[in-house]
Structure 1
């Protein structure tokens, strides 16, 4: 919130507005962090899936004479089980991160909509109300949060 002083929007926000904007910024940063983790886990699970297909096709499928022999070979292969467990864990972690990310997104949108709806409470004085666009522009440029409309 120190950036508010540097951007000279401090006189245009009330104490309530400071708290709400700080909460909004924290929720945005948390959402971005979760989104980044979710993408990493999606990449990781995709990579594990590709590696398992390469291993299956390149090393195991060509060695077997029949489908029955190939399946028997796969069931006893420790590397296949190792890859399968890692692929499964990465997929579960990605699904968990996706759920957390959507929850964080809903929280962020709730606070953002509340700021838009309660503009009169956050900028109570006429001089604050007339200069609220500077605060909104600051939040838009610095944190990529649109407070102009729902």
Structure 2
């Protein structure tokens, strides 16, 4: 059995059964996975951006400023130093990593959103009796408050 968050596990058994708790936990897990990929993508983007800015400033102040506009000298100076090539490869790798995590983030976001919409659509199955239906708002409010997951409506 998977680990269930304390907030979900502590829901009253009288109006939330174990399968519903598992569905809610799966929703929380998908959101956490999406946020993890979002953070990794952002870190890769920041690495790429900062490395690019530093490299451009370095090239400007060490080569372009002293080249007197000779484009051949600029290009040969950049290509003759293997450190420059390594830095360009690091920038390209950072960009490729950001793209990879963006694709992963989009995929998990779609999975999260489809599961969340399914929970909203099937809420009558999770709380079938009228007295349970009246108490479901407590669960939905807890999910919004604790995990920032809106289960009141399907729209994002």
TM-score range, shorter chain: over 0.9
SS at match of 2:152: coil
Could you tell me how far 1:64 is from its partner in structure 2? 2.1
Could you tell me how far 1:9 is from its partner in structure 2? 4.0
Instruction: Quote the residue 2:91 is aligned against.
Output: 87
Could you tell me how far 1:128 is from its partner in structure 2? 1.6
Could you tell me how far 1:10 is from its partner in structure 2? 4.0
Matched ranges for 1:1-150 at <5 A: 1-6=5-10, 8-65=11-68, 66-150=70-154
State the alpha-carbon separation in 1 of the partners of residues 41 and 12 from structure 2. 34
Q: Matched residue pairs, number?
A: 149
CA contact (8 A) 1:9 1:135 kept: no
State the alpha-carbon separation in 1 of the partners of residues 13 and 34 from structure 2. 25
**Structure 1 spans left out of the alignment, 5+ residues:** none
**Structure 2 spans left out of the alignment, 5+ residues:** none
Deviations 1:27-58 (A, max 9, x none): 01111111111111110110111011011101
TM-score, normalization by structure 2: 0.90
| Further displaced range: 86-95 or 10-19 | 10-19
State the alpha-carbon separation in 2 of the partners of residues 133 and 69 from structure 1. 70
TM-score, normalization by structure 1: 0.93
Deviations 1:108-147 (A, max 9, x none): 0000000000011111222221100000000000000000
State the alpha-carbon separation in 1 of the partners of residues 18 and 80 from structure 2. 66
SS at match of 1:96: helix
State the alpha-carbon separation in 2 of the partners of residues 140 and 21 from structure 1. 12
